[in-house]
Chains A and B, each alone.
Chain A
Amino acid sequence: MASANVHPASEPARWKYLDSVRTRPGPFTDASTFNGSVVARAMETMKVLVIGAGGLGCEILKNLALSGFKDIHVIDMDTIDISNLNRQFLFRQEDVGKSKAEVAARFVEKRVRGVRITPYNCKIQDFDEDFYMQFQLVICGLDSIEARRWINATLVGLVDENIEDSYKPLIDGGTEGFKGQARVIFPTVTSCIECQLDMHAPRAAVPLCTLASIPRQPEHCIEWAHVIAWDQEKPFPQLDKDDPEHINWLYQKALDRAREFNIPGVTYSLTQGVVKNIIPAIASTNSVIAAACCNEALKIASNCAPSLGLPDANYMMYSGNDGIYTYTFRHERKDDCPVCGGQARDLPADAAWTLRELLDSLAARPEAQLRQPSVRTATKTLYMQLPPSLEEQTRPNLDKTLAELGLDHGQEIVVTDPAFATVIFMFKLKFKSR
């Protein structure tokens, strides 16, 4: 870092009040982890990743830069649309069509001296574990549950119990109209996004038969074009929701259908909204939630005060639908969470064993006692008791050795058993010969 330029003469004054908060202990500061003399430097060198540069992302980037973070990275695959300008305040009319991540990064860098923001105009899935390993903190301002689940699973997967730096706290903000939530996840320590999936009611879909026979709303016509007309006519090999040409095709189809049923209100932007499942955003709800998220980031990075999730409440919900209501509570981690639960236990085995011998050992081991086990790895179905066709296909594996099946020392296997319908057992093979 060009540290010579970080603190010009006016800089100490700029951060005076922030420093009062982050470098001095308060009544709730944990003395064992707090060291006021190194906080400012630690925050300057800390790499923070922001996911999303939309409504929440603009707020988050601005807040982080004004909270003393200096090495910020931001990922967003979207380009700026004219409809974003009412609340995504880092963008101007002449930016329409440009990358959100790039424009947002340049704007905040120009506005807050000494901050470096590295933009990535792509999908989070384009990066591998090594990329995510470089950050100390991740903050999400996303509108899609799929992307949240992906980054959550990735950060949980990074955890290596022998490497302190592999634990990346995840701060997640989300809004829907006047409602929102801020939560903090310490991977494998506190409840994760997958544990909390029940907090997201899936959006009510319209019955297919309504779309097919009796549309009543403009949204029904758009969904009809999306779900039925597209499949029948296949104008392009694969629907790309970010391609204006594809959205326009759906828009024209929806418009024709709306005329047929005398339904007003189908527009291009409504088509885009319905197809991309966009929930109308309200600027100030984004501000409230982003502010809550960034204060948690400041506290986690500086240890100046306890953050959400340390150790109790980890989830703050906000609702402005009827007055103002907020509720902060502890969402429990789920032992059977498919992402963070079931840390694999060691299972002694031998490369020369047949799969049948391995399964027999599962029945005999006191911690397992599984008599009807079905076993898979991430890429291979080793043996399934049911359904019958799959049992038949995998039966020959029973007489193969673990070596022949390509199973190695350290291989994770997933075992299910109808006697424990709700439990998933994860084991890690531990070969004796090693």
Chain B
Amino acid sequence: MLKIWSMKKEQEKAENAGEGTTAPAPKKKRVTAAQLRVQRDLAELSLGNTMTTEFPDPDNILSFILYIEPDEGMYKGGRFSFSFNVTPAFPHEPPKVLCREKIYHPNIDTEGKVCLNILREDWKPVLNLNAVIVGLQFLFLEPNASDPLNKEAADDLRNNRDGFKRNVRQAMAGGTVRGETYQRVLV
């Protein structure tokens, strides 16, 4: 009735002329598109000596933690961690990334949400996990006052760079800035 079967048979004949047929294997759980893509992306991560990863369950590569220890800039000396959760819609959708510490940063709010363009409006399926970690690393080298998620921190950075630097040190040591107490992240 349906023509698809004869098409498939012709295609197969053309592909492997001469090969014997094999017995069908029992159906197993299939690897998902997101898993395949993450397996490939992980092999391309360039972590350098400022980043490490941790997989709470090595069998679940869709969920892991990235640690960043900036070796220059205002956040040098701190250790920051981000949870990565890759949804089944990856790479059509970006990974969900949250900062796990409460930190003083103009582009990261106190809930851990990160304002990084490629994690939202500029994400494209051709981008990979490495692009995301490069972007996160950059946020610590060049915090950006024009895309504020923590408005107070952005105002400080814009109006008083030295004061901002002092606030960063204070917050990283677990101190209080403008009434908000931050988490100690110094190593």
Query: Which of A149, A204, A207 is the most central at the interface, judged by chain B CB atoms within 10 Å of its CB?
Result: A207
Asked if A20 is at the interface (CB within 8 A of a chain B CB), the reply is no
Residues in B with CB closer than 8 Å to A387 are 42, 45, 47, 52-53
Docked complex: B2-36 residues within 8 A CB-CB of A? 2-8, 11-12, 22, 24-33, 35-36
Nearest residue in A to B146 (C-beta to C-beta)?
Answer: A209
Q: Are A380 and B59 in contact, with the CB atoms below 8 A?
A: yes
Q: Tally of A-B residue pairs with Cβ under 8 A?
A: 186
Q: Are B123 and A202 in contact, with the CB atoms below 8 A?
A: yes
Asked if A428 is at the interface (CB within 8 A of a chain B CB), the reply is yes
Give the size of the chain A interface in residues (CB under 8 angstroms). Answer: 76
Stretch among A172-180, A186-194, A251-259 lining the B interface: A186-194
Asked if B43 is at the interface (CB within 8 A of a chain A CB), the reply is yes
Nearest residue in A to B109 (C-beta to C-beta)?
Answer: A212
Q: Are B58 and A393 in contact, with the CB atoms below 8 A?
A: yes
Q: Which of A207, A311, A388 contacts B52 (CB 8 A)?
A: A388
Docked complex: A76-104 residues within 8 A CB-CB of B? none
Report the separation of the CA atoms of residues A390 and B64 in the bound assembly, to the nearest whole angstrom.
10
Asked if A368 is at the interface (CB within 8 A of a chain B CB), the reply is no
With A167-B5, A212-B148, A424-B36 as known contacts, state yes or no: A206 contacts B28, CB within 8 Å.
no
With A194-B33, A381-B58 as known contacts, state yes or no: A386 contacts B45, CB within 8 Å.
yes
Q: How far is the CB of A71 from chain B (nearest CB, A)?
A: 14
Report the separation of the CA atoms of residues A420 and B109 in the bound assembly, to the nearest whole angstrom.
39
Report the separation of the CA atoms of residues A24 and B59 in the bound assembly, to the nearest whole angstrom.
57
Docked complex: A349-398 residues within 8 A CB-CB of B? 374, 376-381, 384-390, 393-394
Residues in B with CB closer than 8 Å to A381 are 58-59, 61
Stretch among B69-77, B113-121, B135-143, B161-169 lining the A interface: B113-121
Asked if A55 is at the interface (CB within 8 A of a chain B CB), the reply is no
Asked if A243 is at the interface (CB within 8 A of a chain B CB), the reply is no
Q: Which of A303, A339, A384 contacts B42 (CB 8 A)?
A: A384
Q: Are B89 and A146 in contact, with the CB atoms below 8 A?
A: yes
With A149-B33, A202-B123, A418-B44 as known contacts, state yes or no: A428 contacts B25, CB within 8 Å.
yes
Residues in A with CB closer than 8 Å to B37 are 338
Q: Are A418 and B43 in contact, with the CB atoms below 8 A?
A: yes
Q: Are B4 and A378 in contact, with the CB atoms below 8 A?
A: no
Report the separation of the CA atoms of residues A389 and B27 in the bound assembly, to the nearest whole angstrom.
32
0/1 per residue, B115-134, Cβ < 8 Å to A?
10101110111000000000
Report the separation of the CA atoms of residues A115 and B32 in the bound assembly, to the nearest whole angstrom.
37
Q: Which of A145, A228, A301 contacts B1 (CB 8 A)?
A: A301
Asked if A232 is at the interface (CB within 8 A of a chain B CB), the reply is yes
With A207-B147, A376-B61, A416-B43 as known contacts, state yes or no: A310 contacts B7, CB within 8 Å.
yes
Q: Which of B1, B26, B33, B47 contacts A410 (CB 8 A)?
A: B26
Asked if B158 is at the interface (CB within 8 A of a chain A CB), the reply is no
Report the separation of the CA atoms of residues A300 and B2 in the bound assembly, to the nearest whole angstrom.
7
Residues in A with CB closer than 8 Å to B119 are 208
Chain B's interface size range is: 35 or more
Report the separation of the CA atoms of residues A161 and B9 in the bound assembly, to the nearest whole angstrom.
9
With A207-B121, A303-B1 as known contacts, state yes or no: A376 contacts B39, CB within 8 Å.
yes
Asked if A409 is at the interface (CB within 8 A of a chain B CB), the reply is yes
Q: Are B4 and A167 in contact, with the CB atoms below 8 A?
A: yes
Report the separation of the CA atoms of residues A374 and B45 in the bound assembly, to the nearest whole angstrom.
14
Q: Are A379 and B59 in contact, with the CB atoms below 8 A?
A: yes
Q: Are A339 and B33 in contact, with the CB atoms below 8 A?
A: yes
Residues in B with CB closer than 8 Å to A188 are 8
Report the separation of the CA atoms of residues A161 and B28 in the bound assembly, to the nearest whole angstrom.
15
With A390-B53, A418-B44 as known contacts, state yes or no: A209 contacts B59, CB within 8 Å.
no
**Residue positions of A touching B, CB distance < 8 A:** 30, 32-33, 38, 42, 46, 129, 136, 145-146, 149, 153, 157, 160-162, 164, 167, 169, 186, 188-189, 194, 197-198, 200, 202, 204-209, 212-213, 227-228, 231-232, 300-301, 303, 310-311, 338-339, 346, 374, 376-381, 384-390, 393-394, 409-412, 414, 416-418, 421, 424, 426, 428, 430
**Residue positions of B touching A, CB distance < 8 A:** 1-8, 11-12, 22, 24-33, 35-37, 39-40, 42-45, 47, 52-55, 58-59, 61, 88-89, 92-93, 107, 109, 111, 113-115, 117, 119-121, 123-125, 147-149, 151
30 A-B pairs with CB atoms under 8 Å apart are: A30-B3, A136-B2, A149-B92, A160-B24, A161-B8, A164-B5, A167-B4, A169-B2, A206-B121, A207-B121, A208-B114, A208-B119, A212-B149, A213-B149, A213-B151, A228-B113, A338-B36, A338-B37, A374-B42, A378-B28, A381-B58, A388-B47, A390-B58, A393-B58, A410-B25, A412-B28, A412-B30, A416-B40, A418-B44, A421-B40
Instruction: A338-B32, A374-B39 are known; give 13 further A-B pairs, CB within 8 A.
Output: A208-B114, A208-B119, A301-B1, A303-B1, A310-B3, A311-B7, A380-B59, A381-B59, A387-B52, A389-B54, A390-B61, A410-B25, A414-B31
